[in-house]
Chain A
Amino acid sequence: MRKNGSVYVSIVLAVLVGYFSYQWWFNPRRAIKRQLGELAATLSLPPEEVSEIDRLARLARLRHYFSPDVQITTGRSGASINSRDALIGAVAAWKAPAGGWNVTFVDVQIRMDSETTASAYMTAEITGQDPRTGAPSLDAREVTVRLAKQDDAWVVTTAEPTETLQRP
């Protein structure tokens, strides 16, 4: 009886370990969430980023998250960025505010469109400091991102904002 009990416990434990290992390393949804989390961290500007080397290293890391022909629509005007190089150029041109900013993606909902393509719908939250008052500031936008698996890594192929409150 005790021997059977130990076998059952071992089987349940093995199933649980297998399940959580799969979720952590192999589940594509989990991999995409992890990738988006890393992208948000790369887009964040730490207040202590003072050297040019730090800045260039951060820009170089951005290449890993986007496809070469990425299409990004920005804002209400519908202006777009049509390549990874143009995107990195635009990010490089951003003037860092005092105190930096922090980017996070929250309420991420992932839909697998095929084995190698997926869509993520989420809120991009940017927190920082108001340059005039020093008070905490928050900006948030809904974003729909499409991703593709290229060279065994998920990269962003398109990104476009969704207007929560629509006006003419």
Chain B
Amino acid sequence: MKTILFGSNPRLTAIRAGVLVVTAIVVFGYVLLPVRLTGISMEPTYTDGELNFANRLAFSWREPARGDVVAIRMAGPSVLYIKRVIGLPGEQIEIEMGVVKVNGEALLEPTVVRKAAWNLPALTLGPDEYFVIGDNRAMSMHNHDFGRATRDRIIGKLLF
């Protein structure tokens, strides 16, 4: 029984188990943050209840780019917004009858299937601000959380 549980070399088994635990704590605590998506604002790309990971190292060597699906922290990393970056620092963003315009030009959004007639007056992003929004534009604009997020709030990029 003892051999089955702890192997022929219990000391080595304990070391392996310890390494595994430490690796899991480091990877899932600091690198790949497990996230469960709640809500419909990212449909059809991501559906309610889906599991994913936020890669916290994704923006260590580069800044968020247009099209990235990012995790945005609230007071801390326990609750996150999952949104797509559509506007970069310094750009002008406007939504006219559901069409997103960046610096006056319509943005091609292949991940957005249906668009309701959303309207948002033009705004210019600050040097540290990104414009983020969900893929589900068929829902009411007032029920959809979107807008400007400062760089320090963007903590990672979704893995899948």
Contact = CB atoms under 8 A, between A and B. Distances in A.
Given A136-B38, A164-B81, A165-B132, A123 B76 contact: yes
A163 B81 CA distance: 12
Interface residues of B, number: 23
B79 A125 contact: yes
Q: How large is the interface on A (under 10, 10 to 19, 20 to 34, 35 or more residues)?
A: 20 to 34
B101 interface: no
B76 A107 contact: yes
B132 A106 contact: no
A140 B148 contact: no
A5 interface: no
B6 to A, nearest CB: 31
Interface string B123-155: 100000000100000000000011111000100
Contacts of A108: 75
Interface of B: 38-39, 48-49, 72, 74-79, 81, 83, 120-121, 123, 132, 145-149, 153
Interface of A: 106-109, 121-123, 125, 135-138, 140-143, 163-168
Given A106-B75, A164-B72, A165-B149, 16 more contacts: A106-B76, A107-B75, A109-B75, A109-B76, A121-B75, A123-B74, A123-B75, A135-B49, A137-B38, A137-B39, A138-B38, A138-B39, A164-B149, A165-B72, A165-B132, A166-B147
